[in-house]
Amino acid sequence: MSYPTGAAPHPPPAPQGAPGGLSGARLALSIVWALAPLYTCGLLTFAVITVAAARLRSRLQIAAAIAYFLLLIPVVVTDTEGDDQYIFGAALIILSIGGLVHALLIREKVFQPMAPYGGHAVAPPRGPAHPMPHPGAPGPGPMTPPGVAPGAGPHPHLAAPPPVTPHPAHPANPVTPVTPHGPATPPTHAAGSWPPPPGGPGPRTPSGPWQGQPAAAAPARHFGPYLLLDKLGEGGQGTVYLARHPDGSRVALKVLHQQLSDKERESFIREVSALQRVPSYSTARVIDAGVMDGMAYIVSEYVDGPSLQRRVQEAGPLSADSLIRLAIATSGALAAIHRAGIVHRDFKPANVLLATDGPRVIDFGVAKALDQVTTTAGVKGTPLYMSPEQINGEPITPASDMFSWASTMIYGGTGRVAFAGSNPYQVLHQIMSKEPDLSGLPGPLIRPIAACLDKNPRNRPQAAELIAAITG
């Protein structure tokens, strides 16, 4: 499994001796952020307070973000020349002036440096003060293992296990039952569109300090029984490592940012247990999952190949035949996921990997598992590939995945997003009210994709019906 490399969602800890106010770039950025509601006439107030809610993990800020979103609705839909102009004006004043005052009041809190994983420091290990280091590791290496702040002592589950002799044939990994404690980049757009094109390398570029060197050059670190070889990427859900399974094969180890309490642990385990029921054809097979000291993780088959997003960014749209093959394979993968009683909820080009033996769909069901243990409110998903019902907060069914599938196929075949806009609100408006341009798609895909983009989820075909529709 490979993942897009992105900016770390949590900034590094503040330097010692500077516990007080903000300084330097942080101060300048916080002022620009706080003034955003004013110089956008309130249109970005919802986004500004949503950032604050995510950073502070505050239910009060979550409620405020929802309130600003509701106030934004009359601004977007009200006729400024009709009788409702006073409603429009009042909402705009509250969004701009109220949002400005709100942002200024919480500015310093929002931009204070945070510890990794949202400020929840991992407790020091119990037992000897100086655990035995792994053989061959001279000391703390450049890679910071999951759940350990830079400069902190070793995590109890990152100690070195006994040496493991890799199996010479690298057999397929057996499915490990899920236990509570476990075993001992955006699409290409035109200028000015949202979101801006990413800078930097694609998803398979190592991001550790040993970039360009073989993984063996990094000091050995372990997460439970898994030897960490490299850091593949980091996103909104978690950090992904290339790791070695005890049987010698390579796996993708995803450590989620969300810290779990004992109560949340059971919900997470229950949800990820269902992922192991999904057949492994056209999907990255889930091998293991669990929670270690509040750190949730998922281990899956490692797929050596770029994402569809990276492939289109670097080499342009797929050919007609390649897109048809991709459409058939991914619709089959979604059919298998849906038969297991799972909805993907975040189907997008970054979650489709192009391996040499065929495409793989990854990260299915992870969003649902996190929904069970997070208190974050508001719209969830990747806006460019969301369905109308996701935007409306309606129940999510397999039909939502079909809408996202169609948007992903348009991107793969044309290099453009199905619903574009200069900001997130325009994108969401396009999804709710506009029909996308299907020109440039191969003939056999036009009608199936158009059917999957129906605004009414009841009218969309099921994944199992797509293969017949495409080849018929």
Upper half-sphere CA count for residue 28 (Cβ side, 13 Å): 2
Residues serving a catalytic function are: 346
- Comparing 328 with 169, the larger pLDDT belongs to 328
Q: Please tell me whether residue 355 adopts helix, strand or coil conformation.
A: strand
Q: Is residue 365 part of a domain?
A: yes
Residues 318 and 294 in one domain: no
Q: Is residue 462 part of a domain?
A: yes
What are 95-119's pLDDT values in tens digits? 888 888 888 888 888 877 654 333 3
- Comparing 416 with 96, the larger pLDDT belongs to 416
Query: How many structural domains is the chain composed of?
Result: 3
- Comparing 23 with 396, the larger pLDDT belongs to 396
Share the mean pLDDT of the chain: 73
Residues 313 and 459 in one domain: yes
Q: Are 265 and 180 in contact (CB under 8 A)?
A: yes
State the burial class of residue 301 (Cβ atoms within 10 Å of its Cβ: 0-12, 13-18, 19+).
buried
Task: Give residue 33's pLDDT.
Answer: 82
Paired residues of 266 in beta bridges: none
Residues 319 and 247 in one domain: no
Task: Give residue 259's pLDDT.
Answer: 78
Type of residue numbered 49: I
Residues 262 and 411 in one domain: no
The answer for residues whose C-beta is within 8 angstroms of residue 265's C-beta and 6 or more apart is: 180, 291, 294, 296
Out of 271, 301, 331, a domain closes at 301
Q: How confident is the model at residue 58 (pLDDT cuts 50, 70, 90)?
A: confident
Here the CATH number for the domain that contains residue 180 is: 3.30.200.20
Q: Are 41 and 80 in contact (CB under 8 A)?
A: no
Which among 442, 390, 447, 448 is positioned nearest to 412, based on CA atoms? Answer: 442
Out of 253, 278, 301, a domain closes at 301
Q: Is residue 120 part of a domain?
A: no
Out of 301, 317, 332, a domain closes at 301
**And the tokens for 315?**
């080499």
What are 335-351's pLDDT values in tens digits? 989 988 888 888 999 99
How far, CA to CA in Å, does 471 sit from each of 371, 391, 399, 448? 36, 32, 21, 10
Task: Give residue 417's pLDDT.
Answer: 95
Q: pTM for the complete prediction? A: 0.56
Residues 293 and 353 in one domain: no
By percentage, how much of the chain surpasses pLDDT 70? 67
Q: Are 387 and 404 in contact (CB under 8 A)?
A: yes
- Comparing 462 with 117, the larger pLDDT belongs to 462
Task: Give residue 193's pLDDT.
Answer: 52
Residues 185 and 320 in one domain: no
Asked whether residue 207 carries a pLDDT value surpassing 50, the answer given is no
Q: Is residue 145 part of a domain?
A: no
Residues 317 and 431 in one domain: yes
According to the per-residue pLDDT averaged within each range, which of 103-117, 124-138, 365-379 is highest?
103-117
Residues 206 and 328 in one domain: no
Asked whether residue 408 carries a pLDDT value surpassing 50, the answer given is yes
Q: Is residue 144 part of a domain?
A: no
Q: Are 186 and 49 in contact (CB under 8 A)?
A: no
Residues 352 and 440 in one domain: yes
Residues 276 and 387 in one domain: no
Residues 226 and 275 in one domain: yes
Which domain range does residue 264 map to?
173-301
Residues 294 and 191 in one domain: yes
Asked whether residue 371 carries a pLDDT value surpassing 60, the answer given is no
The span from the CA of 157 to the CA of 140, in Å, is: 15
The answer for residues whose C-beta is within 8 angstroms of residue 64's C-beta and 6 or more apart is: 49, 53, 102
Sequence-separated contacts (24+) of 117-121 with Cβ below 8 Å: 117/10, 117/147, 117/257, 117/259, 117/295, 118/10, 118/57, 118/257, 118/259, 119/57, 120/259, 120/294, 121/149, 121/152
Q: Is residue 263 part of a domain?
A: yes
The span from the CA of 286 to the CA of 272, in Å, is: 9
Asked whether residue 250 carries a pLDDT value surpassing 90, the answer given is yes
- Comparing 114 with 300, the larger pLDDT belongs to 300
The span from the CA of 156 to the CA of 67, in Å, is: 43
Here the CATH number for the domain that contains residue 420 is: 1.10.510.10
What are 220-241's pLDDT values in tens digits? 588 889 999 999 888 777 899 9
Distance of CA 318 to the CA centre of its chain: 24
Asked whether residue 242 carries a pLDDT value surpassing 90, the answer given is yes
Which among 303, 283, 178 is positioned nearest to 240, based on CA atoms? Answer: 303
Q: Are 370 and 258 in contact (CB under 8 A)?
A: yes
Q: Is residue 153 part of a domain?
A: no
Q: Is residue 2 part of a domain?
A: no
**And the tokens for 6?**
């992105």
Task: Give residue 273's pLDDT.
Answer: 76
Distance of CA 309 to the CA centre of its chain: 14
